[in-house]
Amino acid sequence: MSNSKFELLRRSAGVLVGVIVLTISGASLATEQSKDRQEGRDVNQDAKQEARKNKVDCKATENKSNAECRQDKRDTKQQGRDDKRDTKRQ
């Protein structure tokens, strides 16, 4: 009888260890994903700020039309989105 209690205790301990390992690995994966998402957001926000600045500079210094400057802004933002995707996939 005591042998079966020991076996039950051993199995329970094994299951508990397995659950703990899976929990820890899942938490670290979530942390990595969170960091990747945050880096992507930072890259995207930087691209937006750069696009705004470039549009203002474009209109002030290059004597381009608003439409031409707007297209430059779109291109800058699109490049930022591409950089964000690259950042998240690393």
For residue range 1-60, list pLDDT tens digits in order. Answer: 456 777 777 777 777 777 777 666 666 666 777 888 888 888 888 888 888 888 888 888
Q: Which residue has the tokens 């960091």?
A: 35
Query: Alpha helices, DSSP H only, in the chain?
Result: 2-61, 66-89
| Alpha carbon distance 58, 69 (integer Å) | 6
**Greater confidence, 9 or 82?**
82
| Alpha carbon distance 73, 24 (integer Å) | 43
